[in-house]
Each structure stands twice: as structure tokens, then as C-alpha cells.
Amino acid sequence: MLKKTRDKIFIVIRIALLVSIALNIFLIFMEFLNNSHHDRTEQIEIIAGAVESAFWALLTFILSFGSTLIEKYQKIDIPDILEVIIVIFIYAGLFLSARFKLYYKFWWWDDLLHTLSGIIMGFIGFIVIYKINYRYSMDISPVLVALFSFTFAITLGVFWEILEFSCDIITGSANQKWDLNDTETLMGKPYQGSGLRDTMSDLILDSIGAFVTSLITYYMYKNEKKKTLEEMKKMIKP
């Protein structure tokens, strides 16, 4: 039942993304054909906005197949609920955020996504450590399991911030919110700059989310080890 629900959610999201791509391409095409009602600057802004929306829709569409490819090539049966959470997270964090400017409309949106990303990546780290060791021995300290989940999530968070910074430098975008006013709700003091405060608050929230997962994985491995390993065994295909 859950698998059918998962498939329906995936279909709805992917159709919505394809429709968005088609509409934005159509808008770009129409702007090139009829520009009499816009001056050159307005036309460029409209086309740039449509290209950006189409790009994020396409990227989200491609990434929505990520869990399927991982299952196929890494022989991992990811739980359906985790797959749904990941795809919805990607859809909300990439496409919806860019399309509706949610990062600027809601000050808490970015904080929520980074906290959730830390939690999700921590659980993925838990799967990774099992995938690496299950053929040999899972007689691992619960502290080490929790620490790996934590550091795995934090490392991915750092790579994401590097990617954002690189995009800002290369394309002139403002993913790290360099252009915000000092009065915006971000951690730190005004003289530190909004870009620094955004980056550090993202990493702190990533860490909080990862820490929550590390506590959960520690409990699971220390107090419910047998049950946890049985569930993990169902996920990893020999």
C-alpha cells in the first residue's frame, strides 16, 4: 500500500515539474516572438526568470530519480517512507524555493530545510555505515555509529555551502544571501555581513539536525541492536 502511495506521489511531482518546464519554455519562446509590449530590460528579466525556473524544475526532475538509481546500482532497498521524504524535500528545497522565492518570503524556510537536511543525511549516513561493514562485522560501538551518522551529515552540509559559494562567485547569484539588509533575521551581528551569518546559521542548523539523528541511531544501535540489524538486512541486497 505504501509503495503505491509513494509511486503516486512521485508521478504527481514529476508531472508538475514537466508542466513547469514546458510552460517556461513556452514563455521564453513567446517573449522572443512578441516583444512589442516590453522594453529590452523587461524582456531580459522575464526570459532570465523563466530560464531559472525551467533549470530548477529540470534539476529537481532529474534528482527525483536519485533514490531509484541508488536502489538499482547499489542494491539498497530504501524504505518507501524515506524515499518519499527525500523526494518531497528535494522538490520543496530546490524547485518550490526557487519558483516562489520562499527563502525571501519566510525567514524560517531556510532554517527548516537545513535542520531537516541534517536529520535526513544522518539517517542516510547510518545506511552507508551498514552498507560498508555488513559483509564483515557489525560489532561496532554505538558511539562510532552515531559519530559516523553525525559527521556524514555535516560533511554533506559543508559541501553544499561550498557549492552555494561557488555558484555565487561564478554566476553572481546570492544563494548565501550576500545582498540582505543587516536587519534580516539571521544569526550574528550586522558588521559580520549577511553572507557569513547565513552560511554559519545553515551549518549550525545542519549540525543540530545531524545531532538529533545521531542520538536516535545511538539509541537504536545500543538498545535495539538486533532489531535494527534485522531491519537493515532487509534493505541491503546481497
Do 107 and 198 share a structural domain? Answer: yes
The set of long-range contacts for 88-96, using a CB threshold of 8 Å and a minimum separation of 24, is: 88/9, 88/13, 89/113, 89/116, 89/117, 89/120, 90/60, 90/63, 90/64, 90/66, 91/13, 91/17, 91/60, 91/64, 93/117, 94/56, 94/59, 94/60, 94/63, 95/17, 95/20, 95/56, 95/57, 95/60
Question: Which residue among 49, 81, 99 closes a domain?
Answer: 99
Return the bridge partners of 236, or none. Answer: 76
Question: Which domain covers residue 155, as residue numbers?
Answer: 101-238
Do 1 and 91 share a structural domain? Answer: yes
Do 135 and 117 share a structural domain? Answer: yes
Total number of domains in the chain: 2
Total-model pTM: 0.81
Do 185 and 218 share a structural domain? Answer: yes
Do 225 and 161 share a structural domain? Answer: yes
Do 157 and 50 share a structural domain? Answer: no
pLDDT per residue of the chain (238 residues) written in tens, 0 to 9: 578 888 899 999 999 999 999 998 998 888 777 755 657 777 777 777 788 888 889 999 999 998 888 888 877 888 888 889 999 999 998 889 888 888 778 878 888 999 999 999 999 999 888 888 888 877 888 999 999 999 999 999 999 889 888 877 776 666 777 666 656 655 566 655 667 777 888 899 999 999 999 999 999 988 888 888 888 888 876 6
